[in-house]
Amino acid sequence: MELPRRAPNSAGPKTQYRIKAKKLSYKLSHQVDECHWLPWKKKADNAYILRNVSCEARPGEVMAIAGPSGAGKTTLLEILAGMIPPSRVSGHVLVNEQPMNVRCFRRLSGYITQDEVLFPLLTVEETLLYSARLRLQGKFQTAESRVGELLKELGLEHVANVRIGSESNRGISGGEKRRASIGVDLVHDPDVLLIDEPTSGLDSASALHIVLLLKSMAIKQGKTILLTIHQPGFRILEMFDQILLLSNGTVLHQGSLHLLEQQLRFAGHSIPRHINVLEFAIEISEALVMITEESETEDSETEEYYAQINPNLSNVEEIKISYPNGRFKEVFVLVRRFFTIIRRTNQLFTARIIQAMLAGVVLGTIFMNATNDPKKYKLQTQIGFFAFSLTLLLSSTTEGLPIFLQERRILMRETSKGVYRISSYVISNTLVFIPFLLIVALLYSTPVYWLVGLRREMDGFIYFLLVVWMVVLMSNSFVACFSALVPNFIMGTSLIAGLMGSFFLFSGYFIAKEDIPKYWIFMHYLSLFKYPFECFIINEYGAGKGKRRCLQITEGNCYLYGEGFLMQQNLEESKKWSNIGIMLVFILGYRFLCFLILCYRSWRTRI
C-alpha cells in the first residue's frame, strides 16, 4: 500500500482502494475511563464488541454500516480506519489484498468522527484553509484554490466567513457544521472516506444533502466510502450500494438493500408499508437468523492463506513516511492559527489584559502609602508585596487550561493522521505566548513598580519587568505541561492549584530553607516561587541605591541596610542572573515534558 504522490487536482489515474475485513473480533480490554492510557491503570476483561466480522468495501461505492445501538458500528469503523491498532484486534484488515499499514492508511484516508472537533472561533473558510495549508504541499495559493473548490462542492460558500460557533456562541447550523467537518478531511482529496453517523442530529433535508454529496464523490471520483447510519429514510437508503447489518457485534447481512428484502421475505417476514426495509430489519434483528458460517474448507484455506502472510509481516519493506510540509511551514501555519484563536478568545486575551492593568493599579495603590514614606517604612510589607505578586502572577494563568485541552483533542486527531509533527505544535504554542505574555507583564509592571515605590532606577524597572515576564512564561509552560497530562478541566485545576500551593509553601517565605525537613528539601528547589522571589529581593536591596537603603531605624540610628539584609537571607548578587537562567530552564523543561507526554499519548493510540 503506497501513499498517493499526486496533488489533489493533478491529472492522471486515481489510486483506488478495496478494503476487506476477515473474521474481526474485538474485546474492550481496558477500563472505560479517561485515564486508561496511564501505564499503571489495571485492565479489566469485558465482553466482545465485535465477533467474526467479515466485510468488503469497494471503490466507487458507498457502504453503510447499520444496526441497533450497541451493535458495534462505530468500533468496526474505527478498526477499518486504523484508529484502533491491529495489535488490539484479532482477525485481518486488508487494503488492496495487503495487510493494512496503519500509519500509511491514516494519511491517505479521511476519518470523520461523530462529534465535530473544530475550533469554534474560526470561520468555515479559515477552518478549511488552515487544514489545507497543513496537509497540502506547495504554495499557499494551492491551498486557497483547493478550499475554494471545496466550499463550492460542499455548498458552504454562503457561510464561508461565519464562525463555526459553539453551544454558548451561535455559529453555523448543524448540517453546515457537519459538512465543514467532512471538508476538513477532504482537503487532501483522500481516496478512502470513513464517516461516523454523518446524518445524526440533522433534519431530513440536511441529511439527504450530505448523503447525496457522498454518493456523488463515490461515483465521480471513485472514492471508497464507508459510513455508519442509524434509522435512515427511504431516499437515503437508495444511495447506498451496500449495507452491512450488525447486531451484538455479529454480521447479519452484507449486500444490497434489495437482497436484504429478499432474505427477509424468504425467512417468512412481512415488511409493513410504513417502515423501510432496513428499519424493519433492525427491529427484528434479535430474531433474524442468517447463515453466516463458512465451510470448513474455506476456513482452512483462509487460515492457510494468512499463515503464509503473517510470518512475513515483520519483513515487509517499511515505506518511508514523510510529512506533507517542512517543520518551518508547520510552525508558521500553527502560529497563525493559534494566534487567531487567542485573539478571539475574550476570556483569555481581553480579560487577561484588563486583569493585568487593574491588578497593577490596585496593588500599587494598596502598597503605596506603606512603602513610600521612609518614617513608616516596613520591610515585611514590601516582602509581602513580592510574595502576593508572585501568587497573583502564577495562579492567573490557569484560565488557559480550557484552550490547551481543546487544542489537545484536535492535536491528537491531526497528528495521528500525520498532518504535522508534535514538536511543531509545542514550538508554535510557545512562540505565540511569548509576545502575548510580554504585553501582560508590561501592563502589570509599569503601574505597580512606580506606585509601590520600588528602587527608582531604570535598570531596576527593566529587571523587574524581565522577572515578571519569566514568571508568567514559567506558569504558562507549567499549565501547558499538565494540560497534556490530565484528562479534563476539573482534574487539571485541582492538580495545578495543589502544586502551586505546595510551591508557595516551600518558597522560603513561610518557612526558611534551614527549617525545611531534609526529605522535603527537594520541593524547595523545585518551587516556582523561590527563584523569582529571590530575584525581587536582590533587585530591590542589592543593586545601586538598594545597598545603601536603610531598612530598620531605632532611635534615629540605622541598624539594617539593604546589603546587610541580603547577607541575613544568604543571598548573593550573583544569583540575580543565575536565577533567571534557572527560570528559563523551568520554561523549557516544562515544554519538553509537555512534548514527551503528547508523544506518549500519540504512541499509545498506535499500539
**How, if at all, do strands 192-195 and 224-228 pair?**
parallel
Print burial letters for 94-105: b (CB count within 10 Å at least 16), e (below 16): bbeeebbbbbbb
Q: Which helix (H) or strand (E) holds 337?
A: helix 327-344
pLDDT at 211 over 70: yes
212 close to 218: Cβ distance less than 8 angstroms = no
Kindly state whether residue 8 falls inside one of the protein's structural domains.
no
Kindly state whether residue 301 falls inside one of the protein's structural domains.
no
**Contact residues for 321 (Cβ-Cβ < 8 A; gap 6+):** 3, 103, 104, 107, 418
pLDDT (0 to 100) of residue 478:
92
Kindly state whether residue 157 falls inside one of the protein's structural domains.
no
Percent of the chain with pLDDT over 70: 83
Cα separation, 268 vs 266, whole angstroms: 5
| 262 and 335 in a common domain | no
Tell me the average pLDDT across 191-216: 86
Cα separation, 376 vs 374, whole angstroms: 5
Q: Which helix (H) or strand (E) holds 169?
A: none
* pTM (two decimals): 0.81
pLDDT (0 to 100) of residue 435:
92
Last residue of a domain, which of 294, 319, 353?
294
| 360 and 229 in a common domain | no
Last residue of a domain, which of 278, 294, 310?
294
Kindly state whether residue 16 falls inside one of the protein's structural domains.
no
pLDDT (0 to 100) of residue 315:
34
Last residue of a domain, which of 277, 294, 311?
294
CATH number of the domain that residue 69 is part of: 3.40.50.300
CA gyration radius, the chain: 31
pLDDT at 340 over 60: yes
| 355 and 268 in a common domain | no
**How, if at all, do strands 192-195 and 109-112 pair?**
parallel
| 252 and 360 in a common domain | no
**Per-residue cell: 506:** 516551600
| 472 and 521 in a common domain | yes
Paired residues of 400 in beta bridges = none
Tell me the average pLDDT across 159-183: 86
What three-state secondary structure class fits 53? strand
Cα separation, 304 vs 306, whole angstroms: 6
- 473 vs 453: which has the higher pLDDT: 473
**Contact residues for 224 (Cβ-Cβ < 8 A; gap 6+):** 16, 17, 18, 19, 57, 58, 59, 60, 61, 191, 192, 193, 218
pLDDT (0 to 100) of residue 2:
39
Tell me the average pLDDT across 12-21: 79
| 483 and 528 in a common domain | yes
Boundaries of domain holding 214: 22-28+45-116+192-294
Work out the end-to-end distance of the chain between its first and last CA atoms, rounded to an integer number of angstroms: 20
Cα separation, 411 vs 206, whole angstroms: 29
How many domains in the chain? 2
Closest among 479, 561, 574, 480 to 535, alpha carbons compared:
574
pLDDT (0 to 100) of residue 45:
52
Please, which pLDDT band fits residue 6 given cuts at 50, 70 and 90? Answer: very low
Please, which pLDDT band fits residue 1 given cuts at 50, 70 and 90? Answer: very low
| 551 and 420 in a common domain | yes
Kindly state whether residue 381 falls inside one of the protein's structural domains.
yes
Range with top average pLDDT, 360-369, 423-432, 566-575: 423-432
Cα separation, 349 vs 343, whole angstroms: 6
| 285 and 338 in a common domain | no
Q: Give pLDDT tens digits for 233-289.
A: 888 888 899 999 888 888 888 888 888 888 888 877 777 877 788 888 887 766 664
Kindly state whether residue 38 falls inside one of the protein's structural domains.
no
64 close to 244: Cβ distance less than 8 angstroms = yes
pLDDT (0 to 100) of residue 430:
92
Please, which pLDDT band fits residue 554 given cuts at 50, 70 and 90? Answer: low
Kindly state whether residue 437 falls inside one of the protein's structural domains.
yes
30 close to 36: Cβ distance less than 8 angstroms = yes
* Residue-averaged pLDDT of the chain: 81
| 346 and 215 in a common domain | no
| 255 and 336 in a common domain | no
pLDDT (0 to 100) of residue 313:
38
269 close to 229: Cβ distance less than 8 angstroms = no
pLDDT at 103 over 90: no
Closest among 52, 54, 32, 50 to 42, alpha carbons compared:
32
| 341 and 244 in a common domain | no
Q: Which of 10-19, 138-147, 321-330, 456-465 has the lowest mean pLDDT?
A: 10-19
Residue 12: left (phi > 0), alpha (psi -120 to 50), or beta? Answer: left
pLDDT (0 to 100) of residue 300:
43
Kindly state whether residue 71 falls inside one of the protein's structural domains.
yes
| 542 and 453 in a common domain | yes
Q: Give pLDDT tens digits for 106-121.
A: 888 889 888 778 888 8
Length of the chain: 607
